[in-house]
Structure 1
Amino acid sequence: MSICERLDGIPLALEMAATRVRALGVHEVAARLDDRFRLLAAGARGAPERQRTLRAVIDWSWSLLGDQERAVLRRLAVHAGGCTLAAAEEVCAAGDLDPATVVDLLARLVDCSLVVVSDDQDGPRYRLLESVTAYCVERLSEAGELEALRRGHREYYTRMAERAEPHLRGHGQRQWLRRLDLESANLRAALESAARSGAGDLALRLVNALTWYWYLRGRISEAERLLAMALSAGQGGSDAEVAKATAWLGGIRLLLGGGAAHFAAHFAALQPYERVDDPGGRARMEWFLGSHTYGIGDPSRSADLIDRALATFGSLGDRWGTAAALSSRSFHAKLRGDFGAVRQDSERSLELFRDLGDQWGQIQAMTPLATEAEVLGDYERAARLHRDGLRMAEDLGLWREVSFKLAGLGRIALLMRDYPKARQFHERARRLAVEQSDTFGEQFAEIGLGMGARREGDLDTAQAHLRSVLDLHRRMGYEPGLPALILAELGFIAEHRGQADTATALQLDGFAAAEATGDPRAVALALEGLAGARLLAGRPVHAARLLGAAAAARRSVGVPLPQGERLDVDRIAAGAVEAIGETRFAAEFAVGGGLLPADAIK
């Protein structure tokens, strides 16, 4: 099948390949197709001269063309994966043809079956068969045009990427994502050509224009590789382009596994901006780094970057930057348990993103709003927000976001105790994350699978899921809420198994992790988990006090435990009441409500 595809189904070429298969085997023939004209140099002896070799077949067609047709045909070969009419008119004209004549020349080449045309939403798209491409690259070299055409090609696609970049944040987002998808091969070829030729200025301009596209598409490893390549491509890039690419690379590497130990290196990625007078560009990079260092080490460092960026965006009137920074700031408000600020920042962010037409931004702003609804027990609203985000993500083809939205819907199903539905959503989310090589998305889905498995009584499966997630978070130094949640869940598993000492140790570790984040809700969960461990250890009075302290922690931020999350608390409270009676339980619960969390655990 590979041989057939690479020879474009040309009957004579396939016949010649078949004769070589008898001597070389299929795999060797496929491996040698890069040198196809040497490989397929012997056809049927009785055939006409023009049909005896693959080169002769194309030579004959070439001989029938006029000079201008030959020029356009060979120049098309510089494109990878085809091109639009506009690209053909500019690149193939190459300074010695009238661009207005290119369309007629293309039409004649299509009639000769040397060029393949397909219809696209943006107009016709032209491409060469692979064998014709190989032939025309040789002709380009013979004409002394190859390097000039490659230069024209990379300049054209650099300008295209720069024209596309602002549209990726507005009403044209869907259209330009699709256009860049279609031109991925050309953009990659242009970048590699720039790097090989030492055109550092073009390489940097191109990666800086494309990194947001790669980010939206979840192509993080590709972004890291190509940013590093552009930064090492040679001299010529301006200080502003170097600063931007360096900062992008620092943020992208965070996504690939940067933890607290590497924070200083990622923060240093902003240093080149000290030599550049570009406050808007610096603010966008501060926001990007700040939003992706959320929870890595000291959360104040992330918050400071976001706050600085937000102030700059406001002074410059940058509405997109303001919307992005408000959305990121809302996550810090969630960490503090300040759900009034969560709603205020997220709703303003959502309003701005809607006005700008940025659906990716709307998805980001909806996420903390869905979390707020979940915390308040408004599961219908939370599910609606997740479904709206899912619809937008699917429409744009943002598959990482689709995975997170599916996991969000799984979380709501879990809280509504529809465990089969929750498992279905989380499995879909995990499969999609694996397909996208999205480690964080995979682990997020795995948390839901682990929580669901515990509630269904499958403790071994639950532990396997949660241990996997915990190991990843420890390696990455990722701290907000999730490790405390995972430790609490593992503690509950140990409690269900009757392992009081193990449960106590896990819940104490979870308490320490929760206190480090400053999230009162995470602290409350750890206290509730420890109450279960103390009850199992024969200390129902302490369990009652811990439950009282947990309830007080939740009240301190105005978000009492909603019904969907009461399963463990109600179970532990019932056990304590059974052991010491309702009156004593109520008294000890009240005592716990007056204690600081750190005192309550003693």
Structure 2
Amino acid sequence: MADALLHNLPAEPNRFVGRERDIDDLCAMFHETRAVTLCGVGGIGKTRLALRVAAKLVPENADGVWLVELARLNRPELVLQEVADVFRLETEPGHSPLDTLVARLSNATCLIVLDNCEHLIEAAAHTTAALLAMCPEVRVLATSREAMRIPGELIWHVPPLDLPGDDPAEAESVQLFLNRARAAGTQLGEGSLPDVARLCRALDGLPLALELAAARTRMLSPGQIADRIDDRFALLTSGDRTAPARQRTLAAAVEWSHDLLSTAEKTLLRRLSVLAGGFDLDLVERVCAEPPLSDAMVVPLLGALVDKSLVVCDEQRGRFRLLDTIRQFAADRLAESDEERLVRDLHLRVLVRLQELAFEAEFVTPRLSWQERLAALTGSRERLGDQREALEWVLRSGNFALGLRLCVRSSGLLSMGGGAGEIVSWMERLLDQDLSRVPRELVAVAKGYLSYGLLARDELEVGLTAALEGLAEMDGDPFMLAATHAIAAGALMRMGRAEEASAHIEQAMTVAHAHDDQLNEVSALVALSVHALRRGRHREAQRLVAEAHAAAMSHGHPWSAALATTHLGVVAERRGDLEAASEHYDAAISWLRRLDNRGELSECLARSGRIMALRGEGAAAKERLVEALAVARQCGIRQALSRCLASLSTMAEAEGDLDGAVLASSAASSLRESMGHKVGSHAADELLARARAKLGEGRTTALWSKGRARPPLEVAALVLDGRRPEPAPVRVLQVEAPSALLTVREMEIAGLLTRGLSNKAIGEELVISPATVARHIANIMEKLGYTSRAQIAVWAAEHGVPSA
């Protein structure tokens, strides 16, 4: 054996990318064990990794490293013969191939690589076990979809390549894609990285899929490929002609694994495709255990699919998932079967029941512990992918009643206080269908739930309309009845219609109290406290919010605790107790972080930053407001951004930057107006009075107009950096007086624009129609060369045009 070739490994066809740590770990394992099986789904890169490890182990094996390729074999008895052929052994008469192999390898120090064992797994296992038992220095590295399950075997599940994170260029999947794209003749610059990262995530970091996609860059950009990836099995074809047929297309790679399954395993796999995202065993049993499968069959069948690398198992959390590529393949098989409607209808009904139970536990049932409520919330969020899948089926199948029931009990789709865009979209799509067969009470509850999402998106008018429409026909769901009254009250309060809001607050309080509904009772008490505070009744406000806080602590949900605690801070701040306010805001922030409630977290961070500024803690205030702005930008909620700008204005003035204070306050005011928000102008009026006294009317008006003219986040950045916006360019600078450009009426209108008035308001002041105002504004734009009202306002302020 000493004179034989050291290995028969093929040369690498292209650069090996990633998995450096895996290679080192696998090499080290052969110091502790003699059999390692690389398991993973087709296309995960088992063979390439095995060959890399084997090449690195050549120096440690005096008698060589030998590759035995089993993919082309179709009969179990050929496995031993193939191993013997690799060693160029002739079987002697009266001896079996195993006897011949053992005689030759009994004293040899070598590594045998058995590649692609899955279709001959029993024969591969018996061969390996025999060689290990009778040849003490022989070691085996195998690749297979499933383990051999022999004594002493170490199973290594080959993971997908690392997916892109904060720095996409560092991810293994991105590096592989870029390398193979260059090999295909495509040079991709940094500008393509976002699309490449999106594509790598969509393909699960699966090496074969990435290589096939990279080959397509000769025709399509990464973005175009990513946009078409839902049809990945048709798109990702035309692989290496010299590769085995099963590796030339993505469909062939998955089909190879699928064909090795039993009939029952195939049935379970295609049913699992309706479970989007991760799932637990309970959900599998509820959805998939229908004839011809039984409850008793589910666990062993699921275990078999895990063993065959078609289902990924997170053992620590007891959860499972399908790679997107496997899931799409299985979904195609389900669509081709005669059981798709059965499975998807059952999936929908199971989800509705699970969500109704979770909603009751999270919000409605009194005096549960936070751990119990957290379990319900976590379950709802973990089923988020399933809820989306089920709702898509609702729109296809027409079962709108179940779809609405699912939506109105999904705290996963609508995280309280933020992320409302998705639930609004689902609700609007469902409510736009023919609901003539859906109970009117259910439609009313759906409108109430929709109203919460609309208000969370700062759409006050339409949110109020939806709430009132829901209340008109709602009487069978006391929780949503109280909640919808509270929602309507919230909209009316923000719109400056406090007296109308009071009636809804009282109704919410009455219904909540009658049904021991502590969560809605907290909302109603906080609303009453806000109402009292705005009327200057500080003691009453304090008493009401203390009641709200006690009820929130009894209820145990962090959202109600954060709501009440935040308002404790508001009342303390209004009473001048900044230390208490700071403590309350910090406590609320802690609750909101646990909930990942970004909208209300941003507002609370902004309030906390304002208190820090008022206490002279400038650096801490700035740090907190920077975080608040970042969170507001992530969730896209205008109310949160408005709160950040208002607090930023306070910080700027506290640091002596009156210009910045006016800019930030102006941007906040503009945001409030865009939402139809009619309260909160008192502090801005006082600031403007101080600014006019110190800076003068003209400068103050110009700053106010500039703040309104620029995007809010740009204004925030300017104020934080201490920079000021450059004045808008004016085409005609040589004019000595504004009157040389504009008529008297146009001058009046330009001056009124500095106050941010609408066409209707200007028309009422000048006793002309809004249409006439619009024509004058168009003439002003043409004369000054401008394209916006804000530019006119800045020009008028800088030229001292009177605003009244």
Residue 239 of structure 1 and its aligned partner are, at CA, apart by 2.0
Q: Does the 8 Å CA contact 1:251/1:292 hold for their aligned counterparts?
A: no
Deviation larger for 359-368 or 212-221: 212-221
Match of 2:609 in 1: 410
Q: Which amino acid is 1:402 matched to? A: L
Task: Return the alpha-carbon distance in structure 1 between the equivalents of residues 585 and 487 of structure 2.
Answer: 23
Q: 1:488 aligns with which of 674, 686, 693?
A: 686
Residue 320 of structure 1 and its aligned partner are, at CA, apart by 2.9
Query: Is residue 220 from structure 1 mapped to residue 414 from structure 2 by the alignment?
Result: no
Write out aligned runs for 1:231-380 (5 A).
Answer: 231-235=431-435, 236-259=437-460, 265-266=465-466, 268-273=468-473, 276-380=475-579
Tell me the alpha carbon deviations over residues 535-578 of structure 1, each in whole angstroms, 9 at most, x when there is no partner: xxxxxxxxxxxxxxxxxxxxxxxxxxxxxxxxxxxxxxxxxxxx
Task: Return the alpha-carbon distance in structure 1 between the equivalents of residues 459 and 322 of structure 2.
Answer: 43
Q: Does the 8 Å CA contact 2:542/2:571 hold for their aligned counterparts?
A: yes
Q: Does the 8 Å CA contact 1:211/1:248 hold for their aligned counterparts?
A: no
Residue 245 of structure 1 and its aligned partner are, at CA, apart by 0.8
Q: Does the 8 Å CA contact 1:393/1:399 hold for their aligned counterparts?
A: yes
User: Residue 210 of structure 1 aligns to a residue in which SS?
Assistant: coil
Match of 1:538 in 2: none
User: Residue 214 of structure 1 aligns to a residue in which SS?
Assistant: coil
Q: Which amino acid is 1:394 matched to? A: R
Question: Aligned pair in 2 of structure 1 residues 27, 299: CA closer, same or farther (>3 Å)?
Answer: closer
Q: Which amino acid is 2:433 matched to? A: A
Match of 1:424 in 2: 623
Residue 319 of structure 1 and its aligned partner are, at CA, apart by 2.9
Task: Return the alpha-carbon distance in structure 1 between the equivalents of residues 596 and 219 of structure 2.
Answer: 46
Q: Unpaired segments of 5 or more residues in structure 2?
A: 1-173, 175-197, 705-804
Query: Is residue 80 from structure 1 mapped to residue 259 from structure 2 by the alignment?
Result: no
Match of 1:588 in 2: none
User: Residue 229 of structure 1 aligns to a residue in which SS?
Assistant: helix
Query: Is residue 497 from structure 1 mapped to residue 698 from structure 2 by the alignment?
Result: no
Match of 1:127 in 2: 321
Q: Which has the higher contact order (CA 8 A, sep 6+)?
A: 1
Q: Does the 8 Å CA contact 2:424/2:454 hold for their aligned counterparts?
A: yes
Q: Does the 8 Å CA contact 1:313/1:321 hold for their aligned counterparts?
A: yes
Residue 279 of structure 1 and its aligned partner are, at CA, apart by 4.8
User: Residue 317 of structure 1 aligns to a residue in which SS?
Assistant: coil
Query: Is residue 167 from structure 1 mapped to residue 361 from structure 2 by the alignment?
Result: yes
Task: Return the alpha-carbon distance in structure 2 between the equivalents of residues 105 and 15 of structure 1.
Answer: 32
Task: Return the alpha-carbon distance in structure 2 between the equivalents of residues 313 and 11 of structure 1.
Answer: 56
Q: Does the 8 Å CA contact 2:351/2:387 hold for their aligned counterparts?
A: yes
Q: Which amino acid is 1:61 matched to? A: S
Q: Does the 8 Å CA contact 2:464/2:491 hold for their aligned counterparts?
A: no
Task: Return the alpha-carbon distance in structure 1 between the equivalents of residues 499 and 239 of structure 2.
Answer: 72
Q: 1:149 aligns with which of 322, 332, 343?
A: 343
Question: Aligned pair in 2 of structure 1 residues 266, 237: CA closer, same or farther (>3 Å)?
Answer: closer
Task: Return the alpha-carbon distance in structure 1 between the equivalents of residues 360 and 696 of structure 2.
Answer: 58
Task: Return the alpha-carbon distance in structure 2 between the equivalents of residues 30 and 145 of structure 1.
Answer: 30
Task: Return the alpha-carbon distance in structure 2 between the equivalents of residues 289 and 228 of structure 1.
Answer: 18
Q: Which amino acid is 2:517 matched to? A: D
Q: 2:592 aligns with which of 371, 386, 393?
A: 393
Q: Does the 8 Å CA contact 1:370/1:385 hold for their aligned counterparts?
A: yes
Deviation larger for 4-13 or 466-475: 4-13
Match of 1:177 in 2: 377
Q: Which amino acid is 2:376 matched to? A: W
Write out aligned runs for 1:430-445 (5 A).
Answer: 430-445=629-644
Q: Which amino acid is 1:225 matched to? A: S
Match of 2:69 in 1: none
Tell me the alpha carbon deviations over residues 295-340 of structure 1, each in whole angstroms, 9 at most, x when there is no partner: 3132011111001221222233333332321122111111111122
Question: Aligned pair in 2 of structure 1 residues 17, 409: CA closer, same or farther (>3 Å)?
Answer: closer
Task: Return the alpha-carbon distance in structure 2 between the equivalents of residues 423 and 12 of structure 1.
Answer: 48
Q: Which amino acid is 2:361 matched to? A: H
Question: Aligned pair in 2 of structure 1 residues 36, 336: CA closer, same or farther (>3 Å)?
Answer: same
Write out aligned runs for 1:465-484 (5 A).
Answer: 465-480=664-679, 482-484=680-682
Q: Does the 8 Å CA contact 1:413/1:421 hold for their aligned counterparts?
A: yes
Residue 119 of structure 1 and its aligned partner are, at CA, apart by 3.8
Identity between Structure 1 and Structure 2 (%): 29
Q: 2:310 aligns with which of 106, 111, 114?
A: 114
Match of 1:456 in 2: 655
Question: Aligned pair in 2 of structure 1 residues 41, 451: CA closer, same or farther (>3 Å)?
Answer: closer
Tell me the alpha carbon deviations over residues 502-531 of structure 1, each in whole angstroms, 9 at most, x when there is no partner: 79xx9xxxxxxxxxxxxxxxxxxxxxxxxx
Q: Unpaired segments of 5 or more residues in structure 1?
A: 507-602
Question: Aligned pair in 2 of structure 1 residues 19, 262: CA closer, same or farther (>3 Å)?
Answer: closer
Write out aligned runs for 1:54-93 (5 A).
Answer: 54-93=250-289
Q: TM-score, normalised by structure 2?
A: 0.58
Tell me the alpha carbon deviations over residues 445-484 of structure 1, each in whole angstroms, 9 at most, x when there is no partner: 110111221232323322221111112223434233x111
**C-alpha RMSD over aligned residues:** 2.6
Question: Aligned pair in 2 of structure 1 residues 119, 441: CA closer, same or farther (>3 Å)?
Answer: farther
User: Residue 314 of structure 2 aligns to a residue in which SS?
Assistant: strand
Q: TM-score, normalised by structure 1?
A: 0.77
Q: Which amino acid is 1:42 matched to? A: S
Q: Decide which structure has the larger Cα Rg and report it.
A: 2
Task: Return the alpha-carbon distance in structure 2 between the equivalents of residues 214 and 262 of structure 1.
Answer: 18
Question: Aligned pair in 2 of structure 1 residues 135, 277: CA closer, same or farther (>3 Å)?
Answer: closer
Match of 1:33 in 2: 229
User: Residue 293 of structure 1 aligns to a residue in which SS?
Assistant: helix
How many residue pairs were aligned?
499
Task: Return the alpha-carbon distance in structure 1 between the equivalents of residues 227 and 512 of structure 2.
Answer: 54
Residue 173 of structure 1 and its aligned partner are, at CA, apart by 3.3
